[in-house]
Amino acid sequence: MSDRISSDPTGAGDQWGSQAGFILATVGSAAGVGNVWRFSYVAGENGGGAFLVLYVLSVLLIGLPIIIAETAIGRALRHDHAPATRRLPKLRHWQFFRVLSVLSALAILSFYAVIAGWALRYLIGAVDGSLLRIASTGHGEFFARFIADPVEPVIWHAAMMAATVFIVIRGVQRGIETANRILLPALFAAVALLAVYGVTQDGAGAGLRFLFQPDWTVLGQPRVYLAAMGQAFFSLGVGMAIFVTFGGYMPQRQSVPVAALAIVAGDTLVAVLAGIAIFTTVFAYGTDPTAGPQLAFITLPHIFVALPGGRVLAVLFFALLVAGALTSMISLLEVPVAWCVQYTPWRRRQAALALGVLIFVLGLPSALGFGLLADIRWHGRGILDSVDFVASNFLLPLGGLLLLTIVGWRWGRAPATAAANLDGNRAAAPWYILIRWITPLLVLVILARGFLNG
């Protein structure tokens, strides 16, 4: 089994068709509902500007080192046959990490697909205009009724899963790379247009000040630091073998640190542009930036109704959410599919279909958790929130910690640094100190917070 890993970690013999393939797919994986829906409400609840500073620090101190480590290991397992690398798949930590990453992907995709389904429903409503015909005060009730319906959320959830399976079946180049080539530019164009529109509105200054002018007093609250670190984990999608899997499809000559920098820059740019678009609009209309998860589905549609050109804006906004969701869902499905292709006799098509159905079924409780199953609650959270909580606060950080242990403590400095293309680079020493000491400590803090808040 381990020999198969060291010769071909993906088992599929796949490779990106171009230099840009890896960056496109990983930026697609990172930029998603987390950047638009989650980033804006978490930033709103945690003080705006000061949160943004802590978020960028978390991306640099946690996200970037883990992305480099994950990618290095993924590529080395495919191309590097040195003894230190051949030993890695035999480590118990590695087997744990792989199983955990598959479980995390199944859990995250099961609820993520439900939110993606809501976004698709809203996109259709924006396109046919029905969303804009709801009385401007009726959006709260509309959303509550929609997510509580026993059938509708399930249908949209199924539609998003079907699209994801369709793309993954087509393979690394023809499916994932091609989809990202189309969806990612559309996503950047939509978020940039919305941001430009946002800053041209009267009263936009208050929104920009909220996002960019830090109110340092919130730094006295530990929850703001923790929210920033947790958001960095989720938004970049680290700790889940996505970069290991996609790094395995990466050509030897591409530089790992350059790709990693492009990924964190691309992901942060999408979050900041989405933040500009959302907060300028929210402030221009005098609504509440701390509205929480309902910001995207209630507050914004409510504003779109009142805006000139609101329908175009609504189409752009929900198209942005759907495109972001789909590019992230593809990678969330690719992790378990690559694992199945590697460890079971299944081929890509069978694995993608079977896992697609499994994830759809696993997502049913989340899809029905606001209606039929609304009584099922855990520590005050509904089903969807509980799965999100467990995955984001336990599974992903635990995966990150295992990976850091493998790369920082088991692999050896020389092979790890070489695989990360940091040989002879001034960044090598800081990176190694980060992955051995600082990043694991910060990740432990996230885990401890999960336990304390649980």
Q: How near is the Cβ of 430 to ligand PFF at its closest, in Å?
A: 25
Comparing every residue's Cβ against ligand PFF, the nearest one is: 34
Residue ranges in 221-240 that form contacts with ligand PFF under rule CB under 6 A: 234-235, 237, 240
> Among residues 25, 34, 189, 26, which one has the least CA distance to residue 116?
34
- C-beta of residue 415 within 8 angstroms of C-beta of residue 85: yes
Show the CA angle centred on residue 169, arms to residues 163 and 171, nearest 5°. Answer: 120
Nearer to ligand PFF, 322 or 419 (CB): 322
270 binds ligand PFF (CB under 6 A): no
Q: How near is the Cβ of 276 to ligand PFF at its closest, in Å?
A: 17
Integer Cα distance of 162 and 151 in angstroms: 17
26 binds ligand PFF (CB under 6 A): no
187 binds ligand PFF (CB under 6 A): no
Instruction: Give the binding-site size for ligand PFF (rule: CB under 6 A).
Output: 14
Residue with tokens 């790992």: 256
Residue ranges in 102-141 that form contacts with ligand PFF under rule CB under 6 A: 108
Q: How near is the Cβ of 145 to ligand PFF at its closest, in Å?
A: 26
Show the CA angle centred on residue 63, arms to residues 330 and 276, nearest 5°. Answer: 80
Integer Cα distance of 210 and 47 in angstroms: 8
Nearer to ligand PFF, 240 or 446 (CB): 240
> From residue 191, how far is each of 128, 276, 347 by CA, in Å?
21, 9, 37
Residue ranges in 323-352 that form contacts with ligand PFF under rule CB under 6 A: 328, 332
Residue ranges in 238-267 that form contacts with ligand PFF under rule CB under 6 A: 240, 242
Instruction: Dig out the tokens for 384 from the structure.
Output: 């969807």
Q: Where are the alpha helices (DSSP H) in 59-177?
A: 64-79, 83-87, 92-128, 130-133, 139-148, 152-169
Nearer to ligand PFF, 29 or 299 (CB): 29
Nearer to ligand PFF, 59 or 204 (CB): 59
Integer Cα distance of 187 and 184 in angstroms: 5
Integer Cα distance of 53 and 213 in angstroms: 10
The conformation of residue 346, written as its DSSP 8-state character, comes to: -
> Among residues 242, 248, 206, which one has the least CA distance to residue 34?
242
Nearer to ligand PFF, 234 or 304 (CB): 234
Nearer to ligand PFF, 187 or 315 (CB): 187
363 binds ligand PFF (CB under 6 A): no
Report the length, in residues, of the chain: 454
Residue ranges in 40-79 that form contacts with ligand PFF under rule CB under 6 A: none
401 binds ligand PFF (CB under 6 A): no
- C-beta of residue 263 within 8 angstroms of C-beta of residue 35: no
Residue ranges in 27-46 that form contacts with ligand PFF under rule CB under 6 A: 29-30, 32-35
Nearer to ligand PFF, 43 or 428 (CB): 43
Binding site for ligand PFF (CB under 6 A): 29-30, 32-35, 108, 234-235, 237, 240, 242, 328, 332
